[in-house]
Amino acid sequence: NLDKHSLVHAVEKPDSCYVCDETSEKSHLNVHSVAHTAEKPYSCSVCDKRFTHKRSLNEHYAVHTGAKPYSCSVCDKTFSRQAYLDSHSFVHTKERPFSCHLCNKTFSRQTRLDKHYFVHTGEKPFS
């Protein structure tokens, strides 16, 4: 029992970001905290665009190279970013995880839900 209890103290507990409500392990928060500063230490060698995170810079290079290293295992369509592949996967699963809290209509993408809200507000920002 004592060994089991000692694990409670051994596991690294999540820390909180000093700016927002993000909680994570300290190692991740060190990376996350850069998002709250104006610091963008990573720059593209082709166009000089700057980024807060090295991963963002690496994904950006696809703009210049045309590389699409993320491929769908169902239809072999390729994407330049993991996030684009993740969003595409809903095409095959028919999953619609984004739901309007006003009318319960569901959408496969957050951006489509965001546009849908204009139906309820009467705004016409695209006209």
CATH architecture for the domain at 96-126: 2-Layer Sandwich (3.30)
Residues 15-57 pLDDT 10s = 777 777 777 777 777 777 777 777 888 999 999 899 988 888 9
pTM value > 0.75: no
- Could you tell me the sign of the dihedral formed by the alpha carbons of 52, 54, 58, 59, in that order? negative
Q: What is the pLDDT of residue 45?
A: 95
pLDDT-derived band at 76, boundaries 50, 70, 90: confident
Domain 41-94, second-level architecture: 2-Layer Sandwich (3.30)
Output 32 or 101, whichever has higher pLDDT: 101
Provide the CA 10 distance to its chain's centre, in angstroms.
30
- Asked if pLDDT for residue 79 goes beyond 90, the answer is yes
Domain ranges of the chain: 41-94, 96-126
Using CB atoms within 10 A of its CB, is residue 62 exposed (0-12), middle (13-18) or buried (19+)?
A: middle
**Contact 26/15 with Cβ under 8 angstroms?**
yes
